[in-house]
Amino acid sequence: MGKSLIEIAQKLKDNDKKVQLIYAFNGNGKTRLSREFKSLVAPKVYGDTELEESEAASNKIFYYNAFTEDLFYWDNDLENDAEPKLKIHPNSFTKWIFEVQGQDRNIISIFQHYTDEKLTPHFNEEYVIKDKDGNDVTVGSFTEITFSYERGNDEPSNNIKISKGEESNFIWSVFYSLLEQVIEVLNIVEPTDRETDQFDQLEYIFIDDPVTSLDDNHLIQLAVDLAHLIKKSESRTLKFIITTHNPVFYNVLYNELASKNCYIIDRQEDGTFELEGKDGDSNNSFSYHLHLKKTIEQAIEDNKIQKYHFMLLRNLYEKTASFLGFPKWKQLLPDNKETYYNRIIQFTSHSTLADETVAEPSPQEKQTVRLLFEHLISNYSYWKEE
């Protein structure tokens, strides 16, 4: 029987591992899980809106998810088309990072590391408006960011609107700068020796899918840097939970981090969820070709082969051939029966005539599925449990 996201959050909280790494396909509840976990660790007893965060010093959890990105939005300057700005919704999280912690220079450095050393963010350190009497009134600082290319000369650079991937990198850089400081401070064992007590209550870092809109190069670099930072953490109390839908990001973290628990979240038809433990990277745990293999294997074992299993079998042959470099999937079929088997698979997966469709395959067709499946598994280096 499946579990609710609250029950899964409780299971993650009860785990004493330093790192828990979770894979889930999009739409399977990763972001909702991060919020349920946050509510479990630090119940909300203050304002009603998501942006009204408590003081950072009292937090038991810092988390990065889609709501973190929602703190930033674009003013495209549609009237003049001259000064697009990335603006920040008023909230104590970014106010604390920029104004209290003074992380703006570090954020710029991290951002340029992931993008381009000449692509430069500019923060408005003081935001002034006119009151009704025409007097200047300071209403806040670090409320908007502009971006330009600095060419190293006196030629003025126009403000630009950065790409979605660059925007994701910038927002991640804000969070990452905080994470660097958290780990550095908490690595000092004696609380009285730390430069600040603002992280003393911190227990969890929950990172939900920071790779939206990133290309593979930036994605891999981000994963390597994150893993390196986590490995630097010597705190006995600070734990990390990371979720993602991206197999590459998952694989890099899996291989970079030695001590972790790995899971995959699977949403059930009744709306509940399964948190299934996984050993190995995505290639050994949940790649689509392994899902096909498992489905066909189960149908053979239960003697419940249906017509659609021929299509799944063909798909498995196609993916295996592609991985091994064969130009045509039918080259993997048994040599002495290739024409016959190919005809059967083509017919059952591409039939368009209603009167040709019979739900229950014949015994001979079922045997064909068994033989073709066993041939593929036995001859093309699929791992088999002894």
pLDDT, tens digit, 9 for 90 and up, residues 70-82: 889 999 877 776 6
Does residue 68 fall inside a structural domain? yes
Indicate if 130 and 56 belong to the same structural domain. yes
Band (204; pLDDT cuts 50, 70, 90): very high
Token pair 């908007």 in the structure block, residue: 144
Does residue 283 fall inside a structural domain? no
Evaluate if residue 92 carries a pLDDT over 80. Answer: no
Of 228, 247, 266, which one is at a domain's C-terminal end? 247
What is residue 106's three-state secondary structure?
helix
Evaluate if residue 240 carries a pLDDT over 90. Answer: yes
Indicate if 336 and 240 belong to the same structural domain. no
Indicate if 38 and 158 belong to the same structural domain. yes
Number of domains into which the chain is organized: 2
Indicate if 177 and 81 belong to the same structural domain. yes
Evaluate if residue 135 carries a pLDDT over 50. Answer: yes
H-helix or E-strand spanning residue 107: helix 104-114
The interaxial angle of helices 247-256 and 216-232, nearest 10 deg, is 30
C-alpha to C-alpha distance for 212 and 215, rounded to whole angstroms: 9
Does residue 264 fall inside a structural domain? no
Residue/partner pairs of 120-124 with CB below 8 Å, 24 or more apart: 120/147, 120/148, 120/149, 120/150, 121/145, 121/146, 121/147, 121/170, 122/146, 122/147, 122/148, 123/98
Residue 228 · residue 113 · CB < 8 Å: no
Which is more confidently placed, 345 or 229? 229
Least trusted range by pLDDT, from 83-87, 136-140, 264-268, 349-353: 349-353
Does residue 13 fall inside a structural domain? no
Does residue 384 fall inside a structural domain? no
Closest CA to 244 of 264, 217, 224, 218: 264
Tell me the sheet residues that pair with 206.
63, 241
Indicate if 205 and 97 belong to the same structural domain. yes
What CATH number does the domain containing 114 carry?
3.40.50
Indicate if 150 and 83 belong to the same structural domain. yes
Q: Could you give the C-alpha distances from 375 to 167, 170, 337, 349, in angstroms and in order?
A: 49, 50, 12, 19
357 burial level (CB within 10 Å; 0-12, 13-18, 19+): exposed
Of 214, 247, 280, which one is at a domain's C-terminal end? 247
Indicate if 218 and 329 belong to the same structural domain. no
pLDDT tens, position by position, 12-66: 999 999 999 998 877 788 889 998 998 899 875 433 334 344 344 347 898 898 8
Does residue 7 fall inside a structural domain? no
Indicate if 228 and 108 belong to the same structural domain. yes
- Cα 184 → chain centroid: 25
Does residue 252 fall inside a structural domain? no
What pLDDT does residue 313 have? 85
Indicate if 225 and 359 belong to the same structural domain. no
Residue 176 · residue 14 · CB < 8 Å: no
What pLDDT does residue 52 have? 42
Task: Tell me what percent of the residues of the chain surpass a pLDDT of 90.
Answer: 29
Of 189, 218, 247, which one is at a domain's C-terminal end? 247
What pLDDT does residue 93 have? 80
Does residue 370 fall inside a structural domain? yes
DSSP-assigned states of every residue in 127-144 = EEEE-TTS-EEEEESS-E
| Structural domain that includes position 185 | 32-247
Residue 146 · residue 108 · CB < 8 Å: no
Indicate if 224 and 139 belong to the same structural domain. yes
Closest CA to 157 of 120, 106, 108, 117: 120
